[in-house]
Amino acid sequence: MRLSRYLPILDWGRRYNGAAFSSDLMAAVIVTIMLIPQSLAYAMLAGLPPEAGLYASIAPLVAYAIFGTSRALAVGPVAVVSLMTAAAVGQIAETGTIGYATAALTLAFLSGVILLLMGVFQLGFLANFLSHPVISGFITASGVIIAASQLRYLLGVPGGGHTLLDIAVSLSGAVMDTNVYTLAVGAAALGFLLFVRTGLKPLLIRLRLPARAADIITKAGPVFAVAASIGAVVVFDLGAKGVAVVGTVPQGLPPFTLPSFELELVQLLLASAMLISVIGFVESVSVAQTLAAKKRERIDPDQELVALGASNVSASLSGGFPVTGGFARSVVNFDAGAATPAAGAFTAVGILLAAAFLTPLIYHLPVAVLAATIIVAVLSLVDFGALGRAFRYSKADFAAMAATIAVTLVFGVEAGVTVGVILSLALFLYRTSRPHAAVVGQVPGTEHFRNVDRHAVITSPSVVTLRVDESLYFANARYLEDRIYKLIADNPDARHVILMCPAVNFIDMSALESLEAINTRLNSTDVKLHLSEVKGPVMDRLKRSHFLDALTGEVFLSQYEAFAALDPETAKRALADKSV
């Protein structure tokens, strides 16, 4: 039992049968066809030779099949992580050098080790500190950067840059050198792929094709673009006219590679590896959870960390680069009927066969077509509409999202996600440091108490009740003191202050010291401090301090009890009041 928690394959493998095999095989064929051009394209995005993309889609898939808990997740190179790889490795080495490839392997290895450690120490909860607005903003901005970074391949000009500004500067200097043949091929591929994505399926269905056939044809669209463009290059000899092609891709099995263990390189890459791990994990686990929920299955996030860790370590040992679970391909895998993680292993066999036998076929594949594939894929990630939704719902969420987008576009992916996380945490802390607090009065005819500013309620000149809508902790302890002192100054006739605590989930030591200070200070002006509706766990803790001994007033179970004990006349009159 214990072992199968860490090796889920022992669990589903035991019950594996012919029906599952044929479902998995069918899904694997479809995902393989989809994954080949994607792998090549994402390797290019990461600044690596195309074969690295194929290699990163073999061993990691097998590792995930052994350790993973999701039945539909398809692991491999994905757009955002490839961009982050390019940004991290690009600071250290030049594209095309041995050092660049080694740094990418090392990044995958470090990321794998970090994920494994997070899994072993059950630190998956750390990903919860990436808020939805930050993730959504980060992915939108990354999509924009990725699309922009591919424009140079569409134009057939040199260039670079990992931020929108760098890319724009680099492009504006080179745009006059545009190769019209490259542009024609790229634009045609882009137009075709956009049509495939949006218009093809409805058209096929109008042409009376069965839905399933229409679906498969639509998914094979990129493969058709690849085949057609290779044909065009050969027929019109576009290579001689300056259209860049993929060229020679080594034919054979993935090589055995080793990451570098040089301390200096590890130090340079460590922060990037941590960010890639967390972002990759968040992306992967949300896809896995969404798909699992559709079949009423559950995934185990901590075991997912182990599985993604093993995938990345295996990528680093087989000529790959950082990988994670991808959204589009997992959905395809799921829709194609993948029944177990074995589908991933079969996909790996498919890519292995492609690496071994098919690479000569893509010699003439135009790089512009790969760029078009990437652009179409990432445009679906871009969602600026989320900014508007966030703005309407919450200014804090909007600020976090807008800052993440802006910083990512201008300063790059790592700065963007870091600023986003820090800002969203800071906004949360700021919000809890100035808690909502309301003076409350009794609702006529009831034992309920509500905000005096929102409801017609009955109050007493001698008993003032403040309801604090937040746990009391160091960041808001002094705010509470100020609020109560102001309350006393505004209500000179008050003899009792009740602190109503139904929303106080804990009181830390700093706040306890503030309560003691408030108690002492109120006492010196002959005002008693009482508490009402203190939660069980909070009360347990207060009993372990000396606060309750020093408290001048009492602790009441309900606010009505408190009010009735301190101003019985007003409380009874309010209860009898049927005017409202």
Smallest separation, CB 402 to a copy of itself (Å): 13
Using CB under 8 A, pick the residue from 49, 50, 112, 133 that binds a copy of itself: 133
Phi and psi, residue 336, nearest 5°? -75, -5
Nearest to 407 by CA among 98, 212, 141: 141
Please identify, using beta-carbon distances, which residue of 73 and 438 lies nearer to a copy of itself. Answer: 438
**Is the CB of residue 370 less than 8 Å from the CB of residue 149?**
no
Q: Does 21 bind a copy of itself (CB under 8 A)?
A: no
Please identify, using beta-carbon distances, which residue of 132 and 495 lies nearer to a copy of itself. Answer: 132
Task: Enumerate residues 150-209 that contact a copy of itself by CB under 8 A.
Answer: none
Q: Does 387 bind a copy of itself (CB under 8 A)?
A: no
Which of these ranges, 91-99, 139-147, 181-189, 505-513, lies near a copy of itself under the rule CB under 8 A?
505-513
Can you read off the two tokens belonging to residue 263? 């301390």
Please identify, using beta-carbon distances, which residue of 394 and 552 lies nearer to a copy of itself. Answer: 394
Smallest separation, CB 523 to a copy of itself (Å): 12
Using CB under 8 A, pick the residue from 477, 522, 527, 564 that binds a copy of itself: 477
Q: How many residues are there in the chain? A: 580
Q: Does 433 bind a copy of itself (CB under 8 A)?
A: yes
Please identify, using beta-carbon distances, which residue of 11 and 469 lies nearer to a copy of itself. Answer: 469
**Eight-state DSSP code of residue 577:** -
Please identify, using beta-carbon distances, which residue of 50 and 435 lies nearer to a copy of itself. Answer: 435
Using CB under 8 A as the binding criterion, the count of chain residues that bind a copy of itself stands at 59
Nearest to 52 by CA among 95, 90, 94, 92: 95
Nearest to 87 by CA among 423, 420, 563, 413: 413
User: SS in 3 state form for 170-218?
Assistant: HHHHHHHHCCHHHHHHHHHHHHHHHHHHHHHHHHHHHCCCCHHHHHHHH
Can you read off the two tokens belonging to residue 288? 């896995």
Nearest to 494 by CA among 461, 465, 467: 461
Can you read off the two tokens belonging to residue 18? 């012919």
Burial 106-127 (b: 16+ CB within 10 A, else e): bbbbbbbbbbbebbeeebbeeb
Q: Does 456 bind a copy of itself (CB under 8 A)?
A: no
Phi and psi, residue 529, nearest 5°? -105, 130
Residue 172: Cβ within 10 Å count: 10
Smallest separation, CB 548 to a copy of itself (Å): 12
Please identify, using beta-carbon distances, which residue of 293 and 353 lies nearer to a copy of itself. Answer: 293
Q: Does 411 bind a copy of itself (CB under 8 A)?
A: no
Using CB under 8 A, pick the residue from 216, 415, 558, 565 that binds a copy of itself: 558
Nearest to 437 by CA among 505, 515, 492, 499: 499
Q: Does 451 bind a copy of itself (CB under 8 A)?
A: yes
Using CB under 8 A, pick the residue from 34, 80, 367, 396 that binds a copy of itself: 396
Alpha carbon of 95 to those of 118, 156, 157, 160, 161: distances in Å?
Answer: 31, 17, 16, 10, 12
Task: Enumerate residues 526-545 that contact a copy of itself by CB under 8 A.
Answer: 535-537, 541, 544-545
Q: Does 18 bind a copy of itself (CB under 8 A)?
A: no
Q: Does 394 bind a copy of itself (CB under 8 A)?
A: yes
Q: Does 302 bind a copy of itself (CB under 8 A)?
A: no
Smallest separation, CB 89 to a copy of itself (Å): 28
Q: Does 425 bind a copy of itself (CB under 8 A)?
A: yes
Using CB under 8 A, pick the residue from 454, 549, 569, 578 that binds a copy of itself: 454
Smallest separation, CB 536 to a copy of itself (Å): 5
Which of these ranges, 34-42, 48-56, 343-351, 389-397, lies near a copy of itself under the rule CB under 8 A?
389-397
Which residue(s) pair with 325 in the sheet? 75
- The Cα–Cα gap between 132 and 300 comes to 20
- The Cα–Cα gap between 411 and 186 comes to 28
Please identify, using beta-carbon distances, which residue of 411 and 547 lies nearer to a copy of itself. Answer: 547
Residues that bind a copy of itself (CB under 8 A): 125, 128-133, 293, 298, 389-390, 392-394, 396-397, 424-425, 428-429, 431-436, 448, 451, 454, 469-471, 473-479, 485, 502-506, 508-510, 512-513, 517, 521, 535-537, 541, 544-545, 558
